Amino acid sequence: MIVVKLGGSLLATGVMRDCLNALGQRYQGEAVVIVPGGGAFADQVREAQSSWRFNDNTAHQMAILAMQQMALLIQSLGKNFILAGSLATIRAQALNHSVLVWSPAIEELDYYGIPATWDITSDSLSAWLAGKLAARRLVLVKSVKIAQSLNSHALIEKNIVDAAFFKYAKLVSAPIEFIDQESFRAGESALSILATN
């Protein structure tokens, strides 16, 4: 099983559909779980919290709902994509070598103690999911080019991943790969980065 995180920025840059089409070519015959970013839906949550000053727990739940909205959007763009809300559903459906779109259940994330903080975004959640599923690979598709020289601190500093990502990445025993949207679409190799570097 391969976990692929597709950020909401791919929608903004107009390449989301191409990236979804590339999934089948890159990972033919394997079960793939897409982790959607919150994109513009999550940006609205940030703006609303800034205006209305509601607490981080409320913002966290709204941000997960933003991921759910993006999951619905991605499912509608793909061919025979299956929406999956829980670990159990993903494990069951993965036996069919399907392309699954994770629509994370707030209750399950709460059960596993995922903190309500903006330090944790879909980046960290993709690592958490890959660890729970014992995925063979975690791939994060980004809208920006990533230099091989960047270490974990630089990746966080440049907002390529969220502040908690490498904490959750340590739970992933499989390779973690970063790739920019153009390289992903073109079938080029990803950049492997160790969780502890």
Distance CA 78, CA 98 (A): 12
| Residue 22 falls inside a structural domain | yes
Q: What tokens were used for 107?
A: 């209750």
pLDDT (0 to 100) of residue 96: 85
The CATH code of the domain that includes 51 is 3.40.1160.10
The pLDDT tens digits of the residues spanning 97-148 come to 789 999 999 999 999 999 999 999 999 999 999 999 999 999 999 999 888 8
How many residues are listed for the chain in this entry?
197
- Look at residue 3 in the predicted model and tell me its pLDDT: 98
Name the residue among 113, 133, 115 with its Cα closest to residue 173: 133
Rounded CA gap, 135 and 94, in Å?
11
The answer to whether the CB of 2 falls within 8 A of the CB of 137 is yes
Q: Which residue has the tokens 């590339």?
A: 22
Q: pTM value?
A: 0.94
Q: Of 155, 164, 146, which is closest to residue 197 (Cα–Cα)?
A: 155
In a domain, 197, yes or no: no
> What is the total count of domains within the chain?
1
Q: Given a cut of 60, is residue 195 above it in pLDDT? A: no
> pLDDT tens digits, residue range 22-58?
997 899 889 999 999 999 999 999 999 999 999 999 9
Q: Which domain holds residue 132?
A: 2-192
* Per-residue confidence (pLDDT) for residue 24, from 0 to 100: 79
